[in-house]
Amino acid sequence: MTEIKVDVRISEMDKDMVKSVVDVTAEALQRFTVDRDIASHIKHEFDWKYGVLWHCVVGKDYGSYVSYSGENMIYFYAGHRAILLFRTSDCFDGKTGRPGIEPETPRMRHQRASQRANSTSWPSCFCTTFILHITR
């Protein structure tokens, strides 16, 4: 695998996950040249490895305003591309699934919304908002 120069600007991930980001990014950069395809590859690899609800933005000039859950965000440069990878959570129950889980039905959403409306407790998820504007 070709070495890539990685410059981590902000990371709220453990070291093993950062290493995984670098490895997956290197693989994506070898296989693809279009930013959208690179982002798609990174996102799908992380969905598979760590559960769903990952989002990835790749480019040279973009702004973002995102919320992410827990220690699941990294912003870095790989060569001349800025990459933002983060995970959101299911704020209804704080859980995330793995690929292959059946989609939620409208009835399930209604039942969950009713339970939440009758609850006096705070939602079990915690999200952090992150604002970023990239120009390079």
Query: Residue 94's pLDDT band (boundaries 50, 70, 90)?
Result: very low
- Strand ranges in the chain using DSSP code E only, listed in sequence order: 6-12, 54-59, 61-69, 73-78, 81-87, 127-135
CATH code for residues 6-135:
3.30.740.10
DSSP assignment, residue 102? P
Q: Could you read off the pLDDT of 99-112 as tens digits, one per residue?
A: 444 455 666 666 66
Percent of the residues in the chain that have a pLDDT greater than 70, as a whole number: 64
pLDDT at 112: 60
pLDDT at 66: 80
Mean pLDDT for the stretch of residues 8-36: 96
Domain boundaries, the chain: 6-135
Could you tell me the sign of the dihedral formed by the alpha carbons of 2, 4, 10, 15, in that order? positive
Both tokens assigned to 136? 């390079």
